Amino acid sequence: MERKLFGTDGMRGTANTYPMTAEVALRLATAAGRYFRQDKKMSHKVVIGKDTRRSGYMIENALTSGFLSTGMNVVLLGPIPTPAVGMLTHSMRADVGVMISASHNPHHDNGIKFFGPDGYKLSDAAEIEIESLFQTGVDLCLAENIGRASRVESAAGRYVETAKSTFPTGKRLDGLKVVIDCANGAAYRTAPEVLWELGAEVIPIGVEPNGYNINQNVGSTAPEAAVKSVLENNADVGICVDGDADRITIIDEKGQIANGDQIMGLITKRWAEKDILKGGALVATVMSNLGLERWLEQQGIGLHRTNVGDRYVVDAMRKGGFNLGGEQSGHIIMKDYATTGDGLLAGLQFLATLVETGKPASEIAQVFTPCPQEIENVKYIAGNAPLENEKVKAIIKESNAILAGKGRILIRESGTEPLIRVMVEAEDETLLSQVIGDVVQAVQSAA
């Protein structure tokens, strides 16, 4: 069976429009509830977190009703980062965890992500089985077996303490001025609190959510506000997370931006020097820059590539025994500390390097020279298949031949939106512009 509801990172769409409706959320929860009650335990529990979108209230209530109707007890965590849901699912011995978020998308979108009892995102096989139960329907429990719902006020505090524990023992952030941009999202309380309690002078932005301003001109995908704040306040560093706080962008004291590849390179080298990098390699996706791969090779460190999606990075890490991986977009997974990408924890690793080296952020944030790379997204009409068009196939084949030995091209469909993502890398920027222009034009004509 092919997944139809789930993409590369759960289910996502426009709120109150199929599939992100209350009705679908309720049916999905009953299917998931039945799936996780197959072991016939006496007591079953689900934890549910969310970001700050207005539609989160609607989805939260629908999911709660669905789970209760199958006999699952529901624990509501309130607004909390995605990685905290993974952590609490495991630590609270829940059968399943749910995060209601559309990550870096605007407020009118929302999504649903599931975590298994081990705190990791569900496998493709599990999602397929839940979709099957969604399609066929499930029997509800007897009236006397309906679950109970409760709210836990200590969830954010538990995450704060866990985050602080990942910072090197005996080290502090005293004397550092840090801008933290929380994207008006799930980390608007926890991230500033962690930094302040570790001793930093904290300048928070994006910490006034109103249900509609999540990711709006703030956060890791819109770091301009943080750049401005860093420069205006003479800050040592800026840390930007996205709406659900599972990705990061770093701003140095000069206002220069470091993406996920640079941050992964920094952490990889630091961990290798400390002999705590397991497997002698970093796990990253096919989107990570060719410059990172070449630089790691020079350091004697391997790079294992996966398909796009942090879940595939995590899967490769678990199977290969690696403890560090991530994506160019800023999802950075440190398996010794978390089960999924965590922007704040990655930021703390960067800050630890600042403290240990005494160097300014500008000297450590750009660890390798990236190969020129361009990425363009092409929208297409649902139902069309631009990549199946013969002219598009021909252009892609021709482009691969042109780039042979000089760069690479990657074209894929987004797993969460009706977009074709075109990425081209080439040492010659003129060649790069020519190739990406030809490919994008061909895809647009077929979209």
CA distance 365 to 369: 11
User: Residue 41: what pLDDT?
Assistant: 67
Residue that wins the pLDDT comparison between 38 and 216: 216
Spatial CB neighbours of 48, under 8 Å, sequence gap ≥ 6: 60, 63, 64, 74, 75, 76, 77, 97, 98, 99, 100
Question: Residue range 403-426: average pLDDT?
Answer: 88
- Would you place residue 292 in the very low, low, confident or very high pLDDT band (cuts 50, 70, 90)? very high
At 42, the pLDDT band (50, 70, 90 cuts) reads low
Domains, the chain: 11-153 (3.40.120.10), 158-256 (3.40.120.10), 260-364 (3.40.120.10), 373-446 (3.30.310.50)
Region 273-277: what's the mean pLDDT? 97
Token code pair at residue 158: 């538990």
What torsion do the CA atoms of 343, 188, 174, 83 make, to the nearest 10 degrees?
A: -30
Q: What span, in angstroms and rounded, lies between the C-alpha atoms of 295 and 306?
A: 18
Report the range of poorest mean pLDDT among 144-153, 179-188, 204-213, 384-393: 384-393
Query: Which pLDDT score is estimated for 3?
Result: 74
- Determine the average pLDDT of the residues in 124-130: 93
Q: Which residue has the tokens 């550092």?
A: 176
SS3 136: helix
Q: 385: helix, coil or strand?
A: coil
Q: pLDDT higher for 311 or 78?
A: 78
Give me the amino acid identity at 236: D
Report which of 82, 75, 7 is spatially closest to residue 51, judged by C-alpha positions: 82
Instruction: Give the whole-angstrom CA distance, residue 32 versus residue 72.
Output: 10
Tell me the torsion sign for CA atoms 5, 260, 221, 349.
Answer: positive
How many Cα neighbours within 13 Å face the side chain of 43?
A: 7
Please tell me whether the peptide bond between 19 and the residue prior to it is cis, using omega within 30 degrees of 0: yes
Q: How far apart are CA 201 and CA 284, in angstroms?
A: 33
Asked if residue 85 lies in contact with residue 49, where contact means CB atoms within 8 angstroms, the answer is yes
Phi then psi dihedrals of residue 91, to 5 deg? -70, -30
**Alpha carbon distance 213, 185 (integer Å):** 8
Helix axes of 155-165 and 82-91: crossing angle, nearest 10 degrees: 100
User: Contact, 212 vs 54, CB < 8 A?
Assistant: yes
Residue corresponding to tokens 């440190």: 334
Dist CA 17 CA 37 (whole Å)? 29
Q: At what angle do helices 343-357 and 190-197 cross, to 10 degrees?
A: 20
Residue 303 has pLDDT above 70, yes or no: yes
- Residue 351, SS3? helix
pLDDT score of 7 more than 90? no
- Segment 21-31 shows an average pLDDT of 98
Cα of 255 vs its chain's centroid, Å: 24
List, by residue number, the catalytic residues. Answer: 103
Measured over the CA atoms of residue 389, residue 392, residue 394 and residue 400, the dihedral's sign is negative
Q: Answer yes or no: is pLDDT of 2 > 70.
A: no
pLDDT score of 418 more than 90: no
Q: Tell me the DSSP string of 358-384.
A: ---HHHHS--S-PPPEEEEEEE--BTB
In Å, what is the CA distance from 442 to each residue of 84, 216, 253, 393, 398? 42, 32, 41, 9, 12
Which tens digit of pLDDT belongs to each residue from 351-396? 999 999 999 999 999 999 999 999 999 999 877 889 999 999 999 9
What confidence tier does 4 reach under pLDDT thresholds 50, 70, 90?
Answer: confident
Residue 4 to residues 111, 123, 126, 337, Cα–Cα distance (Å) = 14, 15, 13, 32
- Bridge partners (DSSP) listed for residue 179: 203, 238
* Confidence grade of residue 245 (pLDDT, cut at 50, 70, 90): very high
Lowest mean pLDDT among 40-49, 249-258, 336-345: 40-49
- Rounded CA-CA distance 48/13 in Å is 19
| Predicted pLDDT at 1 | 63
Q: Is the pLDDT of residue 40 over 70?
A: no
State yes or no: pLDDT of 38 exceeds 80.
no
Report the chain's mean pLDDT, rounded to a whole number. 95
Whether residue 135 has pLDDT greater than 70: yes
What SS3 class is residue 398? Answer: helix
Residue that is written with structure tokens 């996502």 in the block = 12
